[in-house]
Structure 1
Amino acid sequence: MPNLDDRTRRAIVSDILLCTRDGQVDRVRFGTFAKLGRKYECNKRTIARIWKRYKASVAAGHVGGDVSSRIKGNSGRRGFDRAEVAAKVKAVPIQERRTIAATAKAAGVSTGLLQRLLQENVMKRVTSTIKPALTPANMTTRIEHVLAFIDERTCMFEPMYDVVHVDEKWFYEAVDKNTYYTVENKEPPPRHRRSKRFIQKTMFLAAVARPRYDPYKKTKFNGKIGIWPFTEESVAQRSRANRPKGSLVTKNIESIDSHVYKDYIINKVIPAIKKVWPRGEKWKEIFIQQDNAKPHLSPNDTDVVAAGTSDGWTSGCSGNLRTHRISM
């Protein structure tokens, strides 16, 4: 907080004199210092010191009292030149500027000074993330993929209403911290694990498309095709504390190879698309878009083409389902 100037000090003395009893300087109403501290945005002890100096100067014979500031001219430590400090920071290699402490030590300044530079926006804290190392062939493939969605007649970007995006997602069985809203001081439900560092997770295959309005159903198609876990059921060979022998146990599929992925595409994704796809757009050629992971399928896989062209999706003006692979 800046120091009080002489005009403010005189105003404080005048306000205190108005709050004295019968004009006696030793009889100030209770709460006056706190009230004036809030008014002038300073501590009540500062008000008390100014009043004490006023009474001492009056007692010493000074007419009107002396409460002027004792700080004359330039005082205190000289401030740091921000440009000079910024130049010192720039001279430090960027690899050594990972933390405030390391940057301050390498630049020869204090950590508090760097904190002030951050508050004054002289310095900024930025984040760097790892980006894929693209070869010229990767860049060309990406440009060709983007240009394939531009209409040559209108130069407008394709709305991609005929594309279904599929991708794998990991989900943990539980998270360490859950938030609940309770009433009447009810305790949250107990949650116990042998170790919170080793919580099992399961891979899911998700398929989504662009939301749109379906005029035949007179409702909005939300674009959610479905999500399926990569799990399998097996019969328990031994009894345990939580289940008897012979009960069904759901386990994660240990290896997600091309055979498992093809089975999910043919028996889960394609039937789900045929079931929920808007009726008025079944004549289009629908693409199942996937990335370039090794288990993923090629666009000309005969089994997938056969599954996509079945159930009457190839007769008349109907469309078919094909996979489309993107090279990242």
Structure 2
Amino acid sequence: METIDFLSFIGNNSGETTQASSQASTQPSSVETTQASSQETTQAATQATAQATTHAGTQSTSQAATLATTQATTEQNERRKYMKDVERKVCIESLLHAATNLKLPPGTINKLSHIHGVSRWTLQRIWKHVKLSVRLKQSIKISKNQKGKAGRKPIQLNVEQLMAVPLKKRGNIRSLASAMKINKSTVGRFVKKGKILRHSNAIKPTLTAVNKIQRLRWCMQQVISSTINTIPRFGDMYNVVHIDEKWFFMTKNSQTFYLAPNEVRPYRNCKSKRYDTKVMFEVALSRAVHGPDNECLFDGELGCFPLTEANWPIDACGTIWVQQDNATQHLQLHDIEFRNAANTEGFNIHLIAQPPNSPDLNVLDLGFFNTIQAIQHQQAPRNVDELVSAVKYAYEIFEPRKVNHVFLSLQYCMLEIMMVQGSNNYIQPHHAKERMERAGNLPTYIEVPIQLLKESMTSLLQQHMELHGLTNTVQEPEERAEAETE
């Protein structure tokens, strides 16, 4: 800890200057800090004087100047919360040099306050400490009295208390803070630091036992069996077309805007929210095809309905699988007219239906519709024609490379469905596909672990037997072989 001996300081400073003060003054950082602080204080005092004179009105010039000095000192004090040891040492030596028998001439504190850029209350506190140390015949301590980690101790999150609060009272920061009996700002800091996680929860379709079996079987049917040199994986899905319909609304019921302070607030109205202008679109999407140099050979965007076969690449596979949901108004899978039209001009088109209550198994519901709807809302259409143009524009500017991202997300979701045995109680995975694409290692398909495939087969058989009231347990192949041996 650095200290100053008062007696040695007096003995070594018979003139106006001292060796300690000259050493401190030769340090460029201290001098530059002092000069800069003095200039900042003078500029702040000048600006504050002008403001104070304007607002004072009938006040005298001396009162305005006093107010300006107080404001400048307050601003300077807010900018500098703590003094460094070298700055504190310079202030102590300046006070000792100006004092006579521990008495300062009138106005010394204010003068040194402007020179060093420190508030006069700070100098008065330092001078009080100096006089007390001299009277007690102790060395003058330069460093602060703070030991270790000083300041207000952080509030710790009580995880058990947080989990004891019902979910219905954890919908926003205000209700959560009220339930935990802490300040809203404290809860906000917990969220900012990641100690409390913000989660958006969406309602998912209710799945029956049959639905789970169908979902699990569907995912397993997409797996290509392993060979000697490969492991099980999902197909590349280049010959699969996803079709679905969606309502696109003219505007949102509640929308956020960022306005200037004096800007007029927008006024939106409609006769009834139930009858907002909307248009239904049916969209067809396939996987984009890129060349060896990453050039786009086929963007996968087959267009809005009606679907035209001119958009399908000529050299692509002739067998096409058109996937739709199970809506009753859709074509039947074995419709005769569709079969006759689908087997012309060298095409062999099959119509398949995804499992019921499974929007997460269709790339359109999985992410494509949300993306083009966000772009459509930015166009702010005012009538039906503009709404149709906005949807088509959003569809056309959708980047083909992102089509591949959505198809990879579909395969990652199928992995999660297999892990949860056909359920939809899983978190949609994120695997930094943008980063992998920049690095040049974005996969075309996702591999399926062999152990997961075995567990899915066992789970599928077990659920099927439970559904039909069979009580026999399903044995693993190794267990079955051991039982036969015995």
Contact 1:286 1:320 in 2 (8 A): yes
Which stretches in structure 2 are left out of the alignment for 5+ residues? 1-77, 258-265, 357-486
The equivalences for 1:117-128 within 5 A come to 117-128=190-201
TM normalised by structure 2 equals 0.42
**RMSD (Å), alpha carbons:** 4.5
In structure 2, give the amino acid aligned to 1:323: L
The equivalences for 1:122-271 within 5 A come to 122-152=195-225, 154=227, 155-173=232-250, 195=270, 199-213=276-290, 220-228=297-305, 268-269=306-307
Counterpart residue number, 2:347: 319
Query: Taking structure 1 as reference, are residues 326 and 54 closer, same or farther at Cα in structure 2, changes over 3 Å only?
Result: closer
In structure 2, give the amino acid aligned to 1:223: G
Return the offset for 1:225.
0.9
Return the offset for 1:281.
2.6
The SS at the match of 1:292 is coil
Which stretches in structure 1 are left out of the alignment for 5+ residues? 34-43, 180-190, 229-267
**Identity percentage of aligned residues:** 24
Counterpart residue number, 2:123: 51
- Structure holding more strand per residue: 1
Contact 2:320 2:350 in 1 (8 A): yes
The SS at the match of 1:279 is coil
Contact 2:243 2:323 in 1 (8 A): yes
Query: Taking structure 1 as reference, are residues 28 and 131 closer, same or farther at Cα in structure 2, changes over 3 Å only?
Result: same
Counterpart residue number, 1:12: 87
Return the offset for 1:324.
1.2
Cα deviations by residue, 1:245-299 (Å, 9 ceiling, x for unpaired) = xxxxxxxxxxxxxxxxxxxxxxx32xx1x212222235x2212111112211121
Return the offset for 1:113.
4.2
Q: 1:279 aligns with which of 314, 318, 328?
A: 314
The equivalences for 1:57-68 within 5 A come to 62=134
Separation (CA, whole Å) in 1 of partners of 2:226 and 2:283:
34
Query: Taking structure 1 as reference, are residues 323 and 110 closer, same or farther at Cα in structure 2, changes over 3 Å only?
Result: same
Separation (CA, whole Å) in 1 of partners of 2:268 and 2:163:
49
Separation (CA, whole Å) in 1 of partners of 2:207 and 2:243:
23
The equivalences for 1:94-113 within 5 A come to 94-113=167-186
Runs of 4+ in 1 over 6 A off after TM superposition: 63-79, 175-179
- Structure holding more helix per residue: 2
Query: Taking structure 1 as reference, are residues 166 and 77 closer, same or farther at Cα in structure 2, changes over 3 Å only?
Result: closer
In structure 1, give the amino acid aligned to 2:332: S
Contact 2:92 2:126 in 1 (8 A): no
Separation (CA, whole Å) in 2 of partners of 1:110 and 1:192:
35
Contact 2:284 2:302 in 1 (8 A): yes
Q: Number of paired residues?
A: 248
Q: Which has the higher contact order (CA 8 A, sep 6+)?
A: 2
Cα deviations by residue, 1:85-107 (Å, 9 ceiling, x for unpaired) = 33333333333333333334334
In structure 1, give the amino acid aligned to 2:242: H
Separation (CA, whole Å) in 2 of partners of 1:95 and 1:56:
57
